[in-house]
């Protein structure tokens, strides 16, 4: 469905910023996701994929859910990094919840602390192939 283009909205939900640095690298000249027709967008209304970093802290839960509500169907949520998967140093903390998998229903996961840009790029390609109507 999204072979030629993909709008990516990135949510930072309480992370240490390690995963954000790797996400930012996707736009540099080496990784250049725009070659794929992919773009990081400023509004969830333009997004096909929501990437989430961090454990989805208690203070970010409502804002993250509001972002998903504003995203048109179909979309997919990608958990980027161990914290977003529900693992990592914050796993089990009451304020951290269960990460994007539990809190936001992420179906694509990228492990690592932080994951490499190549791993994130592969997950985005998987997400582009698997976006379905909910």
The CATH number that applies at residue 58 is 3.40.50.12280
How many Å apart are CA 120 and CA 23, to the nearest integer? 7
Per-10-residue mean pLDDT, the chain, length 134:
76 93 95 91 94 92 95 94 91 83 94 96 89 46
- Does residue 1 belong to any structural domain of this protein? no
- Does residue 75 belong to any structural domain of this protein? yes
- Does residue 40 belong to any structural domain of this protein? yes
Both structure tokens of 134? 């909910």
Say what the pLDDT of residue 133 is.
37
Say what the pLDDT of residue 96 is.
81
Say what the pLDDT of residue 134 is.
38
* CA distances, 28 to each of 13, 32, 35, 66, 107 (Å): 23, 5, 11, 30, 26
Task: Give the DSSP letter string of 31-71.
Answer: T-GGGGTEEE-S-GGG-SEEEEES---TTTHHHHHHHHHHS
């Amino acid at each position: 469905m999204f072979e030629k283009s993909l709008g990516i909205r990135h949510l930072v939900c309480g992370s240490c910023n390690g995963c954000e640095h790797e996400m930012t690298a996707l736009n540099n000249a080496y990784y250049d996701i725009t070659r794929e027709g992919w773009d990081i967008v400023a509004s969830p209304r333009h997004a096909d994929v929501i990437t989430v970093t961090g454990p989805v802290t208690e203070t970010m839960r409502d804002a993250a859910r509001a972002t998903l509500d504003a995203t048109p169907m179909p979309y997919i949520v990608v958990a980027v990094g161990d914290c977003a998967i529900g693992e990592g140093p914050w796993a089990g903390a009451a304020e951290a919840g269960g990460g994007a998998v539990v809190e936001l229903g992420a179906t694509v996961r990228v492990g690592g602390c932080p994951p490499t840009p190549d791993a994130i790029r592969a997950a985005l390609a998987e997400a582009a192939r698997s976006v379905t109507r909910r």
